[in-house]
């Protein structure tokens, strides 16, 4: 298949690429030959995840990559850990039995090689954002869109056969260099499930199992200063106000801030004290006016 390399259990057909069969402990991946030098881009992925396993008894999932290294097998959905770049995980199995999030679950991770993906916690500590998305065993086509422009990363889904995008993830302050590679990988872990990744073709098809990956260049006006930047030297990262490790599960599938500590507790106590003072002052004024009113009747 031109411009693409594959490894592991990946199987190519004339209609699709199957990253893993419906068997235990299978891993496979496919990677583009050419690095991407677009500063602003949008990727549409037409995919299918299906299997005979019961709810939450299948695994593990698909990962979509934009990374510095390619074709390196590893424990993260069939690809390497401590990667450099962007990963979007379509996770079908809750490894953390204490989690409150609902699976299947889509999450995003940006890494400069310093972070490790914790499979036992479903990547919760390194996750930037996520959402619940029911993409498994659908009887119609399922799509995912990833847009990166001016530091804003957006992930959208079309899973309801409505031909419209639904917001899943929206993060600003994301830094991604140019010159990285797009890829996709999957793993079944110790459970079984089927993952299909369609042949990278532009043509449409009525076949339910066909998946396509299409990349679009976004036209964005930039200043001369921005154009002079060597985008290949940018280190992947996020200008985040809080650490992803503050994330805790939310039953809706999103994340919320962790417990109040430090300055948060101070601000909360300060607000409560100010509220008490205001109530006391208002109460004193009302009491004084009532006393003056009562004196008029004597």
Per-position pLDDT tens, the chain of length 298:
788 898 988 888 877 888 888 778 888 899 999 999 999 999 999 998 887 755 555 568 889 999 999 999 999 999 999 999 999 999 988 888 888 889 989 999 999 999 999 989 999 999 999 999 999 888 888 999 999 999 999 999 999 999 999 999 999 999 999 999 999 998 887 654 555 554 444 332 222 234 788 999 999 999 999 989 999 999 999 996 554 545 554 444 444 334 444 555 566 677 777 878 877 777 777 667 666 655 544 4
Residue 251: per-residue pLDDT: 41
Residue 263: per-residue pLDDT: 52
Residue 269: per-residue pLDDT: 72
CA-based R_g, the chain, Å: 25
Residue 9: per-residue pLDDT: 86
Query: CA-to-CA distance for 292 and 106, rounded, in angstroms?
Result: 66
Q: Collapsing DSSP states into helix, strand and coil, what is residue 119?
A: helix
Query: CA-to-CA distance for 259 and 120, rounded, in angstroms?
Result: 22
Residue 131: per-residue pLDDT: 97
Residue 265: per-residue pLDDT: 56
Residue 289: per-residue pLDDT: 67
Residue 58: per-residue pLDDT: 59
């Amino acid at each position: 298949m031109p411009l693409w390399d594959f490894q592991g259990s990946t199987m190519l057909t004339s209609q699709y690429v199957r990253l893993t069969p419906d068997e235990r402990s299978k891993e496979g991946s496919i990677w583009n030959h050419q690095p991407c030098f677009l500063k602003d881009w949008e990727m549409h992925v037409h995919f299918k995840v299906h299997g005979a396993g019961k709810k939450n008894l299948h695994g593990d999932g698909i990962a979509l990559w934009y990374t510095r290294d390619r074709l390196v097998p590893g424990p993260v959905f069939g690809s390497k850990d401590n990667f450099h770049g962007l990963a979007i995980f379509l996770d079908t199995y809750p490894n953390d039995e204490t989690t409150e999030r609902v699976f299947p679950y889509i999450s995003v991770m940006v890494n400069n090689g310093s972070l490790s993906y914790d499979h036992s916690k479903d990547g919760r500590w390194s996750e930037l954002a996520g959402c619940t998305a029911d993409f498994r065993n659908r009887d119609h086509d399922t799509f995912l869109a990833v847009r990166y422009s001016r530091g804003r990363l957006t992930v959208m889904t079309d899973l309801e056969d409505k031909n419209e995008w639904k917001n899943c993830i929206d993060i600003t302050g994301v830094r991604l260099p140019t010159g990285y590679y797009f890829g996709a990988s999957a793993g079944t872990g110790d459970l079984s499930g089927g993952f299909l990744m369609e042949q990278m073709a532009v043509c449409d098809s009525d076949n339910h199992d066909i998946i396509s990956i299409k990349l679009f260049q976004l036209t964005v006006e930039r200043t001369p200063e921005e154009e002079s930047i060597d985008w290949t030297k940018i280190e992947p990262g996020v200008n985040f106000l809080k650490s992803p490790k503050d994330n805790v599960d939310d039953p809706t599938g999103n994340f919320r801030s962790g417990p109040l500590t430090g300055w948060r507790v101070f601000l909360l106590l300060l607000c409560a004290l100010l509220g008490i003072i205001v109530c006391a002052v208002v109460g004193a004024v009302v009491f004084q006016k009532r006393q003056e009113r009562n004196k008029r009747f004597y």
